[in-house]
Structure 1
């Protein structure tokens, strides 16, 4: 049962952003692009979106903006309100640099103009060296917070975390759990000289540096409540857009996409785990909608608000059903690369996974490349094999474990909206029709990643 506090008499979500400017980090990423498009299209009264972006030699700011919006994601804006794209203002800088590498002039603009901060920048490489993950995820967030605390108009700070910050628990609520390590002790550590073995010990049961550093960062962000309303949004596995602005839109192979497609094509034949393991997938537009809503509705709260943007607690999807949908799509559209694309196994034993990988992936890859050489083509399957195995191994921990990630607070927030706001910013996972969504997801892979007609 979802308890609902009605906000019918409050200003609409769109009205909240009227006359305001937003500062966003990580805006060039998959999720960041969806944030920006959604804000610009749905909130026409928005003044500016300031976007932190690293310098790139040889390209002017105008050229970088043109490249950024040269994506079908922005088609409806380009068609209906092209001038609104001029609201995007690039702020050259670097999240790993002192003071973010921002010029004093641009820092002053942010301090004077910004009301809403969306901090999305992070390294999402699972096995990045601890020094790199720490510099971006922990220290980078600290630098953003330092800047935001000087902003004169700031109303709310939104931090994009991950639902996998508390994977030492079977059921994950929308609360702040104890940190996996003492952040102050880790700050003293010479991370440059930490070995892989020492890193594994420091991770304290976490599978990689990404989830470990993101978990610690939540506690850094929690301290920000003393300065401004602060919100943590925890998306699970972010996947293709469900509905708005383009069904199935995506721009990279991360998350569930790469391994699902590899399996569907017959390039991956084994998974560590079981077909009934729950995989928590959430559409990118649901994450963007939640962030926009949460910022508007919690801009006066002194309490840290945490929202799990997840599906497993209310509308679970099994890994077997996820992979089955991609396999059906590959067979239907004949996009598989190897014979018998539907054949793969689940196992709980690493030795079995290793044997199956060698017999049914390594050997066929070498034979396929031998054939390509004979007919005068360049080999490609052995190189691809390395990527497939590397991807699967990185996900072994997640494919062999299940979590129930509660999203009650998120659903309560959505239920409290006016009917118009609900239509504009859908984010309740119980409304996802998985067969229909996965069909659009597969179509999105073919259209946006594989560039097939």
Structure 2
């Protein structure tokens, strides 16, 4: 953990940018959003306010949700060292997918009068959400937020969190805006009506799912905003556990690479659709948060015709192969005896779907039936067949990404990091070339056991 004296902290130009300013964050209760908030409150201690869009969810009130939010170990150092900064969070009741974001006139006035920075990370990340739903949240939600940003009197920067997989039709992806996958007006007209799965596939025009498709369209909506105010796009790849601060290995959910790699390490998953030599483009969640904070400071208030895109990725400068990634996971599982089925290091890659299905049947489903039969015999409830439903669903969900390999350039990110002062480099590490994958994955595995499985 980096510890800086007061004199050193005063030399942070990034922290100075945020001093006295207020930030509006959407998606703040999510995995990435939590880290944004912790990093801003801790590393930019003189920030004025963080306005946080939040809605009631699954029967939990807003007050109940925020209490649970701050109970996360992620906020421990903030509570211990700068507890007063927690009072800088201002909740804005609302919803990204209802008219005017569901924000009251009173709260909208507060935002319009006070916000200098917007970090927009709210989105549906479900890969195969119905197109109309993905459009409503990812596209229309962003459109409403952009309209609100143009009314803000102190606004200096709008940061949109996209995904590195908006351009999966290219093997080399640079930090530029590529042509949209479809005509936005025509897609808008289509989603007004009920459309079949076959019609959806035609509209997607080669994109693997509705998530990457709508995020690609949204980038072009965001690009139009550059004519009104400084705007940037950050494209993270596969976001994984914290590398450095505030807790090495902290992880908040099973999404992305976490679920499928852990199933392999537990021995309940035995096959990956793809190639061991393909690149898995991981990026630590704190690196994403640091990049967003730094890029906001470097571009805030800057008058420019250029829309800057930052690819927050590792494949071009520090590539990690799938075989190495999953091999390290299984080695760690064997070392800590955290597997469920013997020989977790016996797994295979295949480029044939029929072989993938055969391996799943012979080495996942049949063993699951045997294990559950044994559990019934000894008086325990069956669990492995139910678990296999989740395992196979995850394997097929990630199949497109594990069966392709991309080189995603991050030159602009690395150049910006190189330009930082030594203090800011310490406080906001975000150069993926510096990651030691063996060390990182070991911490990642510990984080899964500790924060997701709740094991000591």
Match of 1:446 among 435, 445, 449: 449
Report the counterpart of residue 393 of structure 1 in structure 2: 396
Which aligned segments of 4 or more residues in structure 1 are displaced greater than 3 angstroms? 56-64
| Aligned residue number for residue 241 of structure 1 | 242
Return the alpha-carbon distance in structure 2 between the equivalents of residues 155 and 435 of structure 1: 40
Aligned to 1:358: 361
**Residue matched to 1:170:** 171
Question: 1:77 — aligned with what?
Answer: 78
Unmatched 5+ residue regions in structure 1? Answer: 1-9
CA shift at 1:153, angstroms? 0.4
- Give the Cα–Cα distance (whole angstroms) in 1 for the partners of residues 61 and 287 of structure 2: 33
For structure 2, list consecutive stretches of 5 or more residues without a partner in the other structure: 1-10
Partner of 1:152: 153
* Aligned counterparts of 2:59 and 2:205: Cα–Cα separation in 1: 44
* Corresponding residue of 1:330: 333
Pairing 1:100–2:101 present:
yes
Q: CA deviation at 1:60?
A: 5.8
Equivalent in 421, 425, 443 of residue 424 of structure 2: 421
- For the residues of structure 2 that align with 1:171 and 1:200, how far apart are their CA atoms? 24
Question: What secondary structure is seen at the aligned counterpart in 2 of 1:68?
Answer: helix
Query: Cα offset for 1:189?
Result: 1.4
Distance of 2:220 and 2:294 partners within structure 1: 23
Could you say which residue in structure 2 is the equivalent of 1:20?
Answer: 21
Q: How far does residue 339 in structure 1 lie from its aligned partner after superposition?
A: 1.6
Q: Deviations over 1:180-199 (max 9, x none)?
A: 00001111114551111111
For the residue of structure 1 that corresponds to 2:177, the secondary structure is: coil
| In structure 2, distance between residues paired with 1:191 and 1:448 | 41
- Structure 2 distance, partners of 1:438, 1:189, is 43
Alpha-carbon distance between aligned partners in 2 of 1:281 and 1:92, rounded to the nearest angstrom? 33
Q: Secondary structure at the match of 2:314?
A: coil
Match of 2:5 in 1: none
- Cα distance in structure 2, aligned partners of 1:214 and 1:145: 15
Please report how far the alpha carbon of residue 57 of structure 1 lies from its aligned counterpart in structure 2 after TM superposition.
Answer: 8.2
Specify which of 334, 344, 347 is matched with residue 347 of structure 2.
344
Once the two structures are TM-superposed, the CA of residue 56 in structure 1 deviates from its matched residue by: 4.7
Counterpart CA distance in 1 for 2:172 and 2:191 is 34
- Which residue in the other structure is 2:264 paired with? 263
Between 1:49-58 and 1:108-117, the stretch displaced more is: 49-58
Q: 1:277 to 1:57 in 2, by over 3 A?
A: closer
- Mapped to 2, the partners of 1:374 and 1:134 lie a distance apart of 49
Q: Please say if residues 158 and 291 of structure 1, whose CA atoms lie closer than 8 Å, have aligned partners that are also in contact.
A: yes
Cα offset for 1:304?
Answer: 0.5
Partner in structure 2 of residue 402 of structure 1: 405
CA deviations on 1:247-292 (whole Å, 9 max, x unpaired) are 0001100000000000011111111111000000000000000000
Residues in 2 aligned to 1:46 and 1:340: alpha-carbon distance in whole angstroms: 51
State how far apart, in whole Å, the 1-side matches of 2:12 and 2:449 are: 41
Q: Show the 5 A alignment for 1:109-148.
A: 109-148=110-149
Residue 6 of structure 1 is matched in structure 2 by none
TM-score by length of 2: 0.96
RMSD, aligned CA: 1.2
Whole-angstrom CA distance in 2 between matches of 1:334 and 1:355: 27
Counterpart CA distance in 1 for 2:296 and 2:86 is: 22
1:296-350, Cα deviation, whole Å (9 max, x unpaired):
0011142211000000000000011110111011101111111211111111111
What SS does the aligned partner of 1:189 have?
helix
Determine the structure 2 residue equivalent to 1:89.
90
3-state DSSP class of the match of 2:190?
A: coil
2:12/2:421 contact within 8 Å kept: no
Compute the displacement of 1:55 (Å): 2.5
d(CA) in 2 for partners of 1:57, 1:183? 32
Residue deviations 1:98-132, cap 9 Å, x none? 00111100000000000000000000000111011
C-alpha distance in 2 between matches for 1:404 and 1:184: 31
The more displaced of 68-77 and 184-193 is 184-193
CA distance in 1, matches of 2:62, 2:138: 26
Q: In the alignment, is the contact (CA less than 8 A) between 1:130 and 1:191 conserved in 2?
A: no
Q: CA deviation at 1:377?
A: 1.1
Say whether the 8 Å CA contact 2:12–2:424 is kept in structure 1: no
Structure 2 CA distance for aligned equivalents of residues 136 and 62 of structure 1: 23
Query: What is the CA distance between 1:58 and its match in structure 2?
Result: 6.9
Structure 2 CA distance for aligned equivalents of residues 62 and 204 of structure 1: 43
CA distance in 2, matches of 1:192, 1:369: 45
Q: Name the CA shift for 1:186/1:429 in 2 (closer, same or farther; >3 Å).
A: same
Q: Structure 1's 242 and 141: CA in aligned 2 closer, same or farther, altered over 3 A?
A: same
1:190 and 1:100 mapped to 2: Cα distance?
20
| Aligned positions, number | 444
**C-alpha distance in 2, partners of 1:190/1:404?**
33
